[in-house]
Structure 1
Amino acid sequence: MERTKNEPLPLGLPEQVDGLATTPSDRGDETQERFRYQWAIGVWLLAQSLTGNRTIRALWCEHHEDYLLELPAGRCIAVQVKTDSRENARWRWSDDALVDSVARFCVFERTHGTVIDGYEFISNAAPYVPAATTKRKDSLAASPDRLIQCCSRVSTHSEVEEPYKAAFTGLLGKTGCDATVLFQVLRKLRFAQGPVLRGYDDTFAASIIPELPGCAGLTTVSCCRLRDELIALVQAACRLRVDGIDGAVAYLATNGRPDAAIRGKCITPESAAELMARVRQPTFRFVDSGAGIDIGATTGRAEVLKRKMRNAYLGSQFEPLRMRMDSADQRLMERALLEPEGFDAISNQLVSTVLVECKDIEAMAFDHADEKTHGLAIYKQILQRMDTLAKEEPERVCREPKDTLMGIAGMLSGECKFAWGTPLEGEAQDGA
């Protein structure tokens, strides 16, 4: 049962103060969005390898850190991704999220420091950098970049100059790290700024996906589809799951987790390239097939369609299909006026695709036992297939919606090119 527009919401709007307008705060949505942002950053890290900007053997997701870049010769880079939704936010040493990340890096450095080339802190917000006119020592010392630069200039932590020496000492107290270890982490630490939280989807589709090998000529729709497929690839690797035979009985690693689940956290640039190749496969195009239909109200087409649908026990579906047919006819005439030079190719692609799909479904249902439900089974499958084409293969059907495709199916039937599995008496299946 559908809810009416004026029907009150259960319990009202969440987090309203005295029933008055209040800025919403949906922790669930925010958490999901920040996870997706992290997965998008994983795509960006893979893109660096695919475009030749950085050589990596594999991207490990939620393995030791948010991401672990496995480099040639057994070297690694540990990556933490953090988001900050504050307006014009800048990371300072007073921010707990930044301090926590440095503390994690210190633990990592203590155990694996000899094979770690670097630590990266990636966020939608940049680190705070003092202006040239800044004089206050506490403001200068709050800058992560300033402290990292000072550590890079000297050989030991004891040589760090003031006021950054005080910042280093304060960071020691907050992280509980050894001074030598913290010093090494800061020397290896780099910041990277990602796109803004509210526009990263568009940024990836417009700026990152087209830079990938073989993707420069993709349409916007294809770029968005490839972006979503790559994000889904990273999302799957970030989840601890076991598929296949290991889902029932699994060998365990020493931490009690299934070996297969840990291996599943790895994405190689080659596997990402294979996914890209599948997604950007060129859309199948029909050559001039001669399977056209007459655009415009063809005399007798609706009457033929009615007879065919009644013959296939689909009389109750005639009226909605007729309405789609008439509307699709009008829509195609509009496209013919707006796109006169390319309309012949558009019309050929649409008609050929719909006809082939309808004929394929009709052929697959040839052995349907019940004559009275034969046509309904075909009609149902055609509805589902037209919906799938419109949603998942929009380029193949020239970005037309399901209703247009169903309307074209009606036209084809009304012009004796398709019969819902049960041709009229004396009519050949091919409409001759």
Structure 2
Amino acid sequence: MSGTISSDPGDETERNYRYQHQYGVALLVAVKRGTFSYVSLYCEHHEDFLGERPDGRFDGWQIKTSKPEGGAWRLTSPALVKSIGRFIELLEAHPDEIGDFKFVSNSAIDHVTPASKGDDRRGRCPGLMLQHISQCSTAGDIKEPFTKAFDNLAAELGATAEQLFGVLGRLAFVKGPSREEFDAALAHEHLGKLGECAHLTATELDTLRDELVGKFHRAASLHVTDPDRHLLDRLSGNCSDPTILAKRIVCAEVSLAPPATPSRAFAYVGEPAINPGGQRPAGVLEQKLERGGLVDMVEYMKSREQAAEYQFLEDQAKNPATAGRQLRQVEEAVHGECLEAYIAAKTVAGPPFGPTMFTDVSARLRRLESDRKQLLGGSPYEVLMGTAALLTSECRLWWSDRFRLEDKA
């Protein structure tokens, strides 16, 4: 069985539904591109799609797929007749809220050339009928060869001439992509040409397309997770129906960023080199700063060194089990930034290069404060700069070329 082709029509039915959901994504992308100004799209609500316009009206969209061998659409095609009937019912029920109607298909509408002399075929041609309707003020203005086709269609639908005329005057036919090409076209022509998606790879565009198609599938399938559906009186008219809200996709709220790849947690390993409260050689910080041309920063750095050490001692008192590990993260992150600043300053500036290095260190630590809050446990800039002072006293950090330190004990 695994090697034979199945005659089960379920897969083809599913493909047709996917086409509809794909077209929903195409509409959403058109909004992002500025082609349409829809505020939101309702899925399987009165029509396949309702596009909510800024003026409060709704455009109705019917999406129909057909096999190419079925031929082009004519005004006598059953699926088209049924769609026009649905449009009539919707316009009658909500005359003040309906805008335009769109009939979309992977198959083209019948095309009749000017050379064709067959009046019956010309009368059944959807494009020619709509073109003629646009030139008429009322149904009574319709002329042959369209009168017969118009009257037959109204009779089949059980509609008045005015009702049918009102719908055909709002109707447009749209030729959609083929079912086979839609996936590629949607990912790489529709999504791929948006500025916000231009940087995505082909694989990322495919992933984004499938995520968005899934979003429209869920909106169209009564997938309701709002717990209020178990609590609200839907008949009172006082509250929004969660089922209807679940069908609504607000265009501005849809992000076209690809699914986020979970970031891996990072942490430095080992024991901290800084020993808060421990003995350090006297005068080391002062000598290094002075040799680096930073004599004016000695008191500044000493005060931050004391503040940082106090902070680390306080952390140890509060939570001895985690304080050492957190200190390791801070000292290694600060040490790395300072070493990079040391190399950069030594390369581009002549001695003393301490001021150049200090400016770079200051900027780096301010960025570190905002960019790595989780890693650093929310340590503020002052603690980070104080850590740089502690590393200087521990002889792990220099602000000039290395030199022999004097014993100040």
| Distance in 1 between residues matched to 2:14 and 2:45, nearest whole Å | 20
Q: Residue 169 in 1 paired to residue 121 in 2?
A: no
Q: Does 1:252 align with 2:234?
A: yes
Give the corresponding residue for 1:124. 106
Do the aligned partners of 1:253 and 1:259 also contact (CA within 8 Å) in 2?
Answer: no
The residue aligned with 1:351 is none
Structure 1's consecutive aligned runs of 4 or more residues displaced over 6 angstroms after TM superposition are: 282-286
Instruction: Tell whether 2:176 aligns with 1:179.
Output: no
Are residues 1:70 and 2:64 paired?
Answer: no
Q: Secondary structure at the match of 2:18?
A: helix
Of residues 92, 112, 123 in structure 2, which corresponds to 1:110?
Answer: 92
Corresponding residue of 2:43: 61
Distance in 2 (CA, whole Å) between partners of 1:48 and 1:127 is 23
Whole-angstrom CA distance in 1 between matches of 2:250 and 2:193: 18
SS across alignment from 1:243: coil
Q: Whole-Å Cα distance in 2 between the matches of residues 220 and 133 of structure 1?
A: 46
Is residue 188–residue 202 contact of structure 2 (8 Å, CA) maintained in 1? yes
Q: CA deviation at 1:217?
A: 2.3
Q: Is the 8 A contact 1:157 1:183 kept in 2?
A: yes
1:220, CA displacement in angstroms?
Answer: 0.6
Give, in whole Å, the separation in 2 of the partners of 1:87 and 1:207: 27
Structure 1 residue matching 2:96: 3-state secondary structure: helix
Q: Distance in 2 between matches of 1:283 and 1:165?
A: 63
Provide the residue aligned with 2:80 in structure 1.
Answer: 98
Deviations 1:243-280 (A, max 9, x none): 1523654542479x9921111110011222x2x13x16
Counterparts in 2 of 1:18-417, with a 5 A limit?
Answer: 25-87=7-69, 89-246=71-228, 248-253=230-235, 259-272=241-254, 274=255, 276-277=256-257, 279=258
Deviations along 1:80-115, one digit per CA (max 9) or x if unpaired, are 110011337311012100000000001111122233
Runs (5+) with no aligned partner, structure 1: 1-8, 15-23, 290-432
CA distance in 1, matches of 2:71, 2:199: 36
Alignment check: 8 A CA contact 2:91 2:167 kept:
yes
Deviation digits for residues 106-165 of structure 1, max 9, x if unmatched? 111112223322000011112112023211111111201111111110111111110111
- Alpha carbons 1:94, 1:142 under 8 Å: kept: yes
Give CA deviations for 1:39-82 in whole Å, capped at 9, x if unaligned. Answer: 00101111111111111111011111110000012111011110
Decide whether aligned partners of structure 1 residues 253 and 64 sit closer, same or farther in structure 2, where only a CA change above 3 A counts. Answer: farther
In the alignment, the residues of structure 2 paired with residue 244 and residue 111 of structure 1 have an alpha-carbon distance, to the nearest angstrom, of 28
Structure 2: gaps spanning 5 or more residues: 269-409
Kindly, what percent of the aligned residue pairs are identical?
Answer: 34
Indicate if the aligned counterparts of 1:39 and 1:235 stay in contact, CA closer than 8 A. yes
The structure with the largest alpha-carbon Rg is 2
Check the 8 A contact 1:85/1:197 in 2, yes or no: no
Please tell me whether the aligned partners of residues 251 and 258 of structure 1 are also in contact (alpha carbons under 8 angstroms). Answer: no
1:242 Cα offset (Å)? 2.5
* SS at 1:61 equivalent: strand
Distance 1:234 1:242 in 2: 13
Contact 2:226-2:242 within 8 A present in 1 as well: no
Aligned positions, number = 266
- The CA distance in 1 between the partners of 2:87 and 2:207, in whole Å, is 35
* Post-superposition CA distance 1:301-356 (Å, at most 9, x none): xxxxxxxxxxxxxxxxxxxxxxxxxxxxxxxxxxxxxxxxxxxxxxxxxxxxxxxx
**Distance in 1 of aligned mates of 2:214 and 2:78:** 30
Q: Report how far residue 26 of structure 1 moved.
A: 2.9
**Closer/same/farther in 2, CA of residues 250 and 187 from structure 1, 3 Å limit:** same
Root-mean-square deviation (CA, aligned residues, Å) is 2.8
- Find the aligned partners of 2:232 and 2:179 in 1 and give their Cα distance: 38
Q: Return the alpha-carbon distance in structure 2 between the equivalents of residues 28 and 88 of structure 1.
A: 19
